[in-house]
Chains A and B, each alone.
Chain A
Amino acid sequence: MPWTRRHLLTLEELSLHEIDQIHATATAFKKILGRSVKKVPALRGKTIVNLFLEPSTRTRMAFDMAAKRLSADVISMDGSSSSTTKGETLRDTAQNIEALQADMIVIRHAAAGSPLYLSKILGIPVINAGDGAHEHPTQGLLDTFTMREQLGSLKGRKVVILGDILFSRVARSNIHALTKMGANVTIVGPSTLVPAWFKPLGVTVSHDLRSALADAEVVMLLRIQHERQTSGMFPSIGEYTSLFGLNKTRAGWLNPKAIIMHPGPINRGVEIDSELADGERSVILQQVTNGIAVRMAVLYLCSGGQPEQVIPQE
């Protein structure tokens, strides 16, 4: 089946086949990243605008890098330099970007649903680079790409997501992708941050770290934000770490071959011991590298490319 989607808004709406197509395309592009000339002409003459209305380092750099590896021209705008600070609406900002003849827009926004909103207004492809607590589809794609690289098929594998699930778009995108791939997903953390409302998404909800981690082959940690403490979601960072922080002892409960993941930025000593973050089971930096290949695949496919046409010639 050919790739037909022009926007990438959520992983909820993707089929397993589409996820496979993105991963296959990313595999092909990843080979390019190891060459001396890390560039293909796939998107030559196209202009991609990265509209980042919320702070981001990793995602923004990876999108920037991915577009450049595809020979596209890239313009990046952040919230403080855009007209939105002068009160311009998102509709007007986006329509101006389209009028400037951009070919694609990558948006990061604090409000859930804003990429969908833009996709209904604009005639150019819209890529969601994270919308509020809703989804972060390219992160979900790079995370599952990394898991497949490390473990092969994810069918029947136990994957644990640990931390602030309630406010996490990364968790939601991973849940959608992983359940489609047949993984057994457990989300775990304090009951205030891991509400039972997630059960209809097809996951196991747990507040007991030991049983959650038992025999897991992947543990994905999410950043604990200090502001959750002041809003009363849990008593203190110290109590969080003592109950749910991943340390060496607790890592021992995992399957011996388990990998440790984190989308970043990491709070060392809070959700994860420094030693584990840098340890041999950590694939945190591989995730970052894979983020370029996966985003190249997404930009390429949503520009009208087809998976089988990638085949990079040396």
Chain B
Amino acid sequence: MPSLWISNARVIDPASKRDAVGDLFIKDGIIVASLTAANKKKAKKIDAKGLVACPGLVDIHVHFREPGQGHKETIETGSRAAAAGGFTSVVCMPNTAPVADTAGTIQQIKDSILRTACIKVYPTGCITVGMKGQALAPIGSLKRAGVIAITDDGDCVQSNELMRRACEYAKMFDLTIMDHCQDHSMTVGAVMNEGAVSTRLGLKGWPHAAEDIIVARNVILSTYTGAHIHMQHISSKNSVDILRRAKTRGVNVTAEATPHHIALTDESLGTYDTNFKMNPPLRTEQDRLAIIEGLRDGTLDIIATDHAPHTDYEKDKEFDYAPNGILGLETALAVSLDILVRQNKFKLPYVVDLLTRRPSKIVKLDAGTLADGSPADVCLFDPDEKWVYDAKASFSKSSNSPWHGQTLRGRVKNTIVDGRVIFSGGKFVN
């Protein structure tokens, strides 16, 4: 493998507090401080003038649909969409068919990752058997099989007793519990945020209180058991407030926000477009702003996409009957730059941190930094380039995105995994 010499880039690495225009050297798949003169001569050189070089992005919340739902996405297509979006490490959710609640299924997923993934893909396992919320899954075996966290994402463990035991048990293995926070009894048949818009549209509302209650429950259980609970896709202002107070007290909880919850509100649903239907739903402007402030003050730790592919024919339905979820991997960086950096004056290195070092830390990945000796996973992007996102031409197998056809600003130019350029100039490199 040739060495790589990335020159003239604005190198941003929050983990090593680096933010300066300069060179980045890679040898044998590892970030190095410098190359010898001889190695420099042989190195493949990338002139990155005007570009940002940052750690490969890390997304700890994606749905790659393997096994069993290969018509929506596969590990191969999902990992390509990720690479095209600048991501080099992602964490897959276990709500597949069958759900990933046994060591055998985890092994099957790992085999597929080994054979087909172009980036680093990590599996998670279920908290409960069959994701049914009734009995603990074999968490110890799942851990041994290689899961990096457990979650019933897409669903939420309703029994407080079972969740408490899951916390205690997972803590023994130092496993993070990720929770999709939703009280089911309050959201039967719900398809969008409950409020003035759902009332006008005649759609069944999903009150934010149903999220807040589980967020509060998880804060209480984390306090009680000491387990680390990571709250997925926070969508409500009240939930942000609850988490802020918990963090002030030092409770062992973390939380994520999605690009769509910081960019869009329920006002987008006026035409019943199912590409705006996801769970938790888009909420009000007040919630959107609170999530941005939560990211700003660290109450919300990271950005995660909840990349959730569905085919055209599954999404092309009456709003009530369409499945929840949208794509996110190819648009996450541009949307984050737009909403956080340009509209809300976040510093660029801070946004990079939200997408790299911090998510790695939550699930303890060896990723998210350009420090010497680290795996050479790098994202090179132009923070200002405008481009039109054509979801139909997505590297994902599906095209269910609310950003289809829109002009976005900020474009990934190169994605490097373990020192190999795998994506460059909009194309995959063999």
Contact = CB atoms under 8 A, between A and B. Distances in A.
9 contacts: A91-B317, A111-B318, A111-B319, A112-B320, A113-B203, A113-B271, A131-B202, A166-B199, A200-B196
A169 B202 CA distance: 7
Contact of A132 (B196, B316, B317, B320): B320
Interface residues of B, number: 19
Given A112-B201, A116-B271, 19 more contacts: A89-B313, A90-B317, A90-B318, A91-B316, A91-B317, A110-B320, A111-B320, A112-B272, A116-B272, A132-B202, A133-B204, A134-B201, A166-B199, A195-B199, A197-B194, A197-B195, A198-B199, A199-B196, A200-B200
Contacts of B317: 89-91
Ranked nearest first, the 3 interchain pairs of A and B with the lowest CB-CB distance are A134-B202, A113-B272, A111-B318
A23 B198 CA distance: 29
A252 B196 CA distance: 34
Interface string B311-333: 00100111111000000000000
Interface in B275-334: 313, 316-321
A117 B202 contact: no
Given A90-B317, A117-B272, A112 B203 contact: yes
A174 B195 CA distance: 20
Interface residues on A, range: 20 to 34
Contacts of B204: 133
Contacts of A109: 318
Contact of A172 (B194, B202, B321): B202
Contacts of A135: 202
Contact of A113 (B195, B201, B316): B201
A117 B196 contact: no
Interface in A156-210: 166, 169, 172, 195, 197-201
A90 B196 CA distance: 28
Contacts of B318: 90, 109, 111, 113-114, 117
A133 B202 CA distance: 4
Contacts of B313: 89
Contacts of A117: 272, 318-319
Interface string A124-141: 000000011111000000
B199 A132 contact: no
Interface of B: 194-196, 198-204, 271-272, 313, 316-321
Nearest to B313: A89
Contacts of B272: 112-113, 116-117
A309 B174 CA distance: 79
A130 to B, nearest CB: 10
A114 B319 CA distance: 8
Contacts of A166: 199
A113 B196 contact: no
Nearest to B198: A197
Contacts of A199: 196
Contacts of A201: 199-200
Contacts of B271: 113, 116
Contacts of B194: 197
Nearest to A133: B202
Nearest to B205: A197
B271 to A, nearest CB: 7
Nearest to B200: A201
A132 B196 CA distance: 17
B264 to A, nearest CB: 18
Contact of A197 (B199, B316, B319, B321): B199
A200 B201 CA distance: 13
Interface string A75-111: 0000000000000011100000000000000000111
Contacts of A195: 199
B55 to A, nearest CB: 43
B207 to A, nearest CB: 11
Contacts of A132: 202-203, 320
A304 B259 CA distance: 45
A197 B313 CA distance: 33
B193 to A, nearest CB: 11
Contacts of A112: 201-203, 272, 319-320
A134 B271 CA distance: 12
A195 B207 CA distance: 13
A142 B131 CA distance: 50
B191 to A, nearest CB: 9
Nearest to A110: B320
Nearest to B189: A231
Contacts of B316: 89, 91
A12 B203 CA distance: 15
B324 to A, nearest CB: 15
Contacts of A91: 316-317
A113 B319 contact: yes
A13 B378 CA distance: 50
A135 B199 CA distance: 11
